[in-house]
């Protein structure tokens, strides 16, 4: 199926060329939007400009040292009211529920209905560098919220270590399918919540290596110091069973959020600090491919999702860029 462009040629369905402003504001989102050379050049120029002045090294070290505090403060203020659940996880990552049929999953992220988008047409604000349309899932926020009333990190780390060393028994050891993530429908009979600092390579996981089917990284890696990303991906890959997968969705290069940064907020190439002290990195496909393949994983999917979103109330257009990946641990060769 194809849609005609302004010039009359046919284009693949989902790639829509927008030329009529009156028509533009009748809808809320377009997927797989193609950027012109001029638009890409303009985005590149904005990034060159806002990254021309780097923060002093002592300030960068301060943000790294206090990273936990800045994110804790963010969630204390916003709880689960800032990022909205976009209901797309099971559609884009059907591996999360192998027994769930396609009708339950609904439409793909590349085919969100106008009805779904219109429910959120008031979104689109950016606050301290956070753009609310970045689709962080509500389940992640509920995880953070639930942890706040639980163990301290020190107690959790000690408990996790004990669990992982107890004669092969660990959280989920009796399950046939295990996922490293949480869900809003938390049930302690089938879920285990724990606090873990991914940036601390000495912090033990509460499960052994090669025990997980899925690891989910939804806007996680982008919040981490780039120099630590490889170690984190490698550690997480060791938790996967042969055939297990890491599922990722994160910021892509030249996303709206990157272009809105001002001079003096850049820490290093494509790595910025927001007004509230939290940090964010903007990836390319090649960078993510290098991280995962270096960890010994094989590519299943690595795609860029470019979307045009419109806030009709504010008559504002927003070009978002995300990257979605699926990387698999090779299965053990049979003798």
> Where exactly are the structural domains of the chain?
43-64+211-330
**What is the band of 100 on the pLDDT scale with cuts at 50, 70, 90?**
low
Q: What is the pLDDT of residue 115?
A: 31
Q: What is the pLDDT of residue 137?
A: 38
Q: 197 or 104, which is more confident?
A: 197
Q: What is the pLDDT of residue 180?
A: 65
| Residue 224 CA: distances (Å) to CA of 50, 103, 232, 282 | 20, 36, 9, 11
The pLDDT tens digits for 32-91 are 788 889 999 999 999 999 999 999 999 999 999 999 999 989 988 887 776 666 567 788
Of 107-111, 127-131, 133-137, 180-184, minimum mean pLDDT range: 133-137
Q: 167 or 42, which is more confident?
A: 42
Q: State pTM to two decimals.
A: 0.71
Give CA 78 to chain center in angstroms: 18
Q: 191 or 233, which is more confident?
A: 233
Q: 82-85, long-range: CB within 8 Å, 24+ apart, which pairs?
A: 82/127, 82/130, 82/132, 83/132, 83/134, 83/135, 83/136, 83/137, 83/138, 83/140, 83/141, 84/120, 84/123, 84/132, 84/135, 84/138, 85/137, 85/138, 85/139, 85/184
Q: Is pLDDT at 154 greater than 50 in this prediction?
A: no
Q: Is pLDDT at 256 greater than 90 in this prediction?
A: yes
Residue listed under structure tokens 């997968």: 245
Q: What is the pLDDT of residue 104?
A: 56
User: What's phi and psi for 209, nearest 5 deg?
Assistant: -65, 155
CATH number for region 43-64+211-330: 3.40.50.150
**What is the band of 245 on the pLDDT scale with cuts at 50, 70, 90?**
very high
Which stretch, 110-114, 293-297, 318-322, has highest mean pLDDT? 293-297
In the chain, the percentage of residues whose pLDDT exceeds 70 is 65
> What is the rounded distance in angstroms from the CA atom of residue 221 to the CA atom of residue 246?
12
């Amino acid at each position: 199926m194809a849609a005609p462009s302004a010039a009359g040629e046919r284009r693949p369905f989902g790639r829509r060329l927008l030329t009529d402003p009156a028509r533009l504001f009748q809808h809320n989102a377009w997927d797989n939007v193609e950027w012109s050379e001029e638009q890409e050049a303009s985005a590149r120029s904005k990034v060159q400009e806002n990254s021309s002045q780097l923060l002093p090294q002592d300030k960068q070290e301060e943000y790294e040292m206090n990273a936990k505090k800045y994110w804790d403060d963010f969630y204390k203020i916003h709880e689960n009211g800032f990022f909205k659940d976009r209901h797309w996880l099971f559609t884009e990552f059907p591996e999360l529920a192998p027994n769930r049929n396609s009708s339950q999953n609904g439409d793909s992220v590349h085919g969100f209905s106008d009805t779904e988008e219109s429910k959120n047409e008031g979104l689109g604000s950016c606050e301290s560098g956070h753009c609310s349309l970045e689709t962080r899932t509500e389940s992640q926020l509920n995880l953070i919220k639930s942890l706040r009333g639980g163990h301290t990190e020190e107690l959790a780390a000690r408990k996790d270590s004990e669990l992982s060393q107890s004669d092969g028994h660990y959280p989920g050891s009796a399950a046939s399918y295990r996922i490293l993530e949480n869900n809003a429908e938390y049930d302690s009979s089938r879920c285990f919540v724990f606090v873990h600092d991914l940036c601390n390579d000495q912090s033990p996981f509460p499960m052994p290596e090669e025990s997980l089917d899925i690891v989910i990284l939804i806007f996680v890696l982008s919040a981490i110091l780039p120099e630590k990303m490889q170690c984190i991906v490698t550690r997480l890959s060791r938790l996967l069973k042969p055939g297990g997968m890491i599922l990722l969705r994160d910021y892509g290069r030249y996303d709206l959020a990157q272009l809105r940064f001002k001079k003096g907020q850049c820490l290093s190439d494509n790595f910025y600090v927001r007004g509230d002290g939290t940090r964010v990195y903007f990836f390319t496909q090649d960078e993510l491919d290098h991280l995962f393949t270096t960890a010994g994983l094989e590519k299943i999917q690595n795609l860029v999702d470019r979307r045009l979103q419109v806030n009709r109330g504010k008559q504002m257009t927003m070009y978002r860029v995300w990257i979605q990946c699926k990387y698999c641990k090779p299965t053990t060769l049979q003798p």
